[in-house]
Structure 1
């Protein structure tokens, strides 16, 4: 059994090795114990075959791609695939220009579990190549001028407008997000991700490079996974800032667990996810495995619920993803009206933000995260972006929601040197 130090060294070398290719994906659980994760971390690199497409027939194209290859697939779903699943549109500016859907079959795939690396695709010699791979450090060369798309006054004004929609009964809850961005940005993506992953290790972290576009993610949230016949979704709703004092920190956890407002937000999304899973489930199998679970991360405690069902054998697993996409925790309830209001009040096209990335195994199991707490970077246009948001309900306080956004942004701002 490898020591943790050796594992961390191998992980770092493997990431740098994978980054030499034009396309790679690294998924990392950061040693969090999770009942549904198949591996501790996986690294996919180089392209055997790929699919890149826009919203319209993207899910059907993915089904055909998966049927043609029956192999490990790594890829992402953009939030704007909502325009395919519902009669919606997106007219906001998009400076990042990620594809709406991208998947690839890797030439090399290494999986790590219980202290042991396994080559799933490629030659065993890859492990020696990784272990001897030189790591060059090229530190960030220019200070970033990070700006906010909305001022605090504008943000609060929009929250008050959204609360009026709630009073009118248009929606019960809505996830509203704002963008932080930097133009003419120059970063070293691998090192930036490593810094973020070290400062804020999370169970669904990942690094995804598609040519000149990068996702650097410290997301704590799973969108959905499939294990055998079972689908599992784990929405997050409920956030509290941690304290360095252990007793105070425990009290904050207890307060979050018993917070009526946070519970109300969480249960609305649980109901929405149950509804989404019902579209793909064997009748009567949708159940809530855990309600209001409190999980701790370096900056925050989060309230996470787990909902599962048995997948109807007549429904393709990719259709099950489509039936639940975009995830309820990033939209609101009712879902379609919430997405219409998101388009009306937000200033930036979400694109890959609040979408999902992950992998599909040859037997049709899959695991996909939620793209939050993530830096998105287009190296060609030198545009860097990250968004943060929160659940807006009738009871919410606009000032506190703004502060929660800054809390969620804190690790990224620290990593980008804007603290």
Structure 2
């Protein structure tokens, strides 16, 4: 155990050190108080064992991988694993080319909690290595040429078409996303993540590197967490812009809490998550612990609900993840039809976007986020991408939905605009 005087300085020093390896994962709660988070941050670096899968049996392969090692395991699930769960396909363009699933058992693992650093895997000497590691300040001068995959007019046309599907009764709600991208992009991933994490600190933020692939995430959303035999999901549906004026900001917060449209969006997804959890739950144990909770982040207020259940002892925890994937907040209701329409109307393959990354501990407890508000980067092809979206219901205003997308993208646009 070692007391760290300067938490922020140590955090980024450690990340710079970890980034020298082919593989690393950094999970940062940004010291948000949360009932289920175990650490302020976890940093896993290098690998003893790894699993990379884009087969038809990725979840089974992960189950075998975890059972073989029963050790701290870090990794991600790509959105297109949906094709292994349902009769679906993904044929849209993909500039990033992430694997569908990747997990690794780290060689080094550092945990930080309440001012104390602990080396969970590896030798304590790595703390000295981190302290002595030269900071790499690579600020790329190359200007990013960010483009929108859709114009505002094209976006609005697609929303109008989706609303026709809703009026016909095909779906009640759908999460529709659009991509912003840059080709020939050169960024310094650690420096870019640091800028994003400082501008928009969130409770499920993180940095994931697998060789040429990077996830730089400022996500505020938890997908699924397991503590003991309890599963917890916390979908976000409902967004309002912050105001610099404290009185107005409070009024906006109150208005979001009582907004009928936002409540309708949120409750539809709560019902969907409840349904998904019943597949893994002890009968009668699914409950809504908090409905329409309002949580404040630097750029936005968000409406978040918490749903939990007791995990059926006959259900493997990885099957419980599969039973709820992809998350309801990023698909819609009914889920399968919403995913079919997402494939039809979106221009870009989601890939790792609206997937999830996180960790599993040696006891089989886990915590996974939702990959939103995230910069995705392939350093080999120099392709950079981020996507934003929102819940489309019959009542929604397409122009306002477009503006909400830009609000959600604002922190990333500001960070990337510095290039």
Contact 1:234–1:304 (8 Å) recurs in 2: yes
Render the CA deviation track for 1:307-355: whole Å, top value 9, x for unaligned.
0000000000000000000000000000000000000000000000000
2:380 aligned with 1:380: yes
Deviation at 1:278, TM superposition (A): 0.3
Report the alpha carbon displacement of residue 142 of structure 1 after superposing the two structures with TM.
0.4
Residue 318 (structure 2) aligns with? 318
Q: 1:295 to 1:138 in 2, by over 3 A?
A: same
**Structure 1 Cα separation of the partners of residues 4 and 58 of structure 2:** 40
| Structure 1 partner of 2:135 | 135
Between the aligned partners of 2:55 and 2:270, the Cα distance in structure 1 is 27
After TM superposition, the structure 1 = structure 2 runs for residues 261-410 of structure 1, keeping only pairs within 5 Å, are 261-410=261-410
Confirm or deny: 8 A CA contact 1:55 1:80 kept in the other structure: no
Q: Take 1:189 and 1:86, find their aligned partners in 2: how far apart are those partners?
A: 34
In the alignment, which residue of structure 2 is the partner of 1:118? 118
Q: Is the 8 A contact 2:4 2:117 kept in 1?
A: no
Post-superposition CA distance 1:221-266 (Å, at most 9, x none): 0000000000000000000000000000000000000000000000
Q: Secondary structure at the match of 1:385?
A: strand
Name the SS for the 2:375 alignment partner.
Answer: strand
Q: TM-score, normalised by structure 2?
A: 0.99
User: Which residue is 2:160 aligned to?
Assistant: 160
Distance in 2 of aligned mates of 1:364 and 1:249: 41
Determine helix, strand or coil for the equivalent of 1:158: helix
Match of 1:90?
A: 90
- 1:127-153 C-alpha deviation (Å, 9 max, x unpaired): 111122221211122000000000000
TM superposition outliers: structure 1 runs of 4+ over 2 Å: 1-5
Contact 2:3 / 2:116 at 8 angstroms: preserved in 1?
A: no
1:199-210 to 2 correspondences below 5 Å: 199-210=199-210
CA distance in 1: counterparts of 2:418 and 2:95, whole angstroms: 21
8 A Cα contact 1:144 1:418, kept in partner: no
CA distance in 1, matches of 2:3, 2:404: 37
1:48 paired to 2:48: yes
Return the alpha-carbon distance in structure 2 between the equivalents of residues 3 and 112 of structure 1.
10
Distance 1:267 1:100 in 2: 30
Q: Which SS does the other structure have where 1:284 is aligned?
A: coil
1:5 Cα deviation from its structure 2 partner = 6.1
CA distance in 2, matches of 1:359, 1:353: 17
> Residues of 1 paired with 2:58 and 2:374: CA distance?
23
The 5 A counterparts of 1:236-247 are 236-247=236-247
Per the alignment, do residues 4 and 303 of structure 1 end up closer, same or farther by CA in structure 2, a change over 3 Å counting? farther
> 1:206 and 1:50 mapped to 2: Cα distance?
19
Aligned mates of 2:398, 2:146 — CA distance in 1: 23
Distance in 1 between the 2:341 and 2:239 partners?
23
**Partners of 1:136 and 1:230 in 2: CA distance:** 42
TM-score (norm 1): 0.99
RMSD of aligned Cα (Å): 1.2
Corresponding residue for 2:102?
102
Q: Deviations over 1:174-205 (max 9, x none)?
A: 00000000000000000000000000000000
Q: Deviations over 1:73-102 (max 9, x none)?
A: 000000000000100000001110000000
Q: Distance in 2 between matches of 1:369 and 1:102?
A: 15
3-state SS of paired residue (1:305): strand
Partner of 1:146: 146
Q: What is the number of residues matched between the two proteins? A: 419
Structure 2 unaligned regions, length at least 5: none
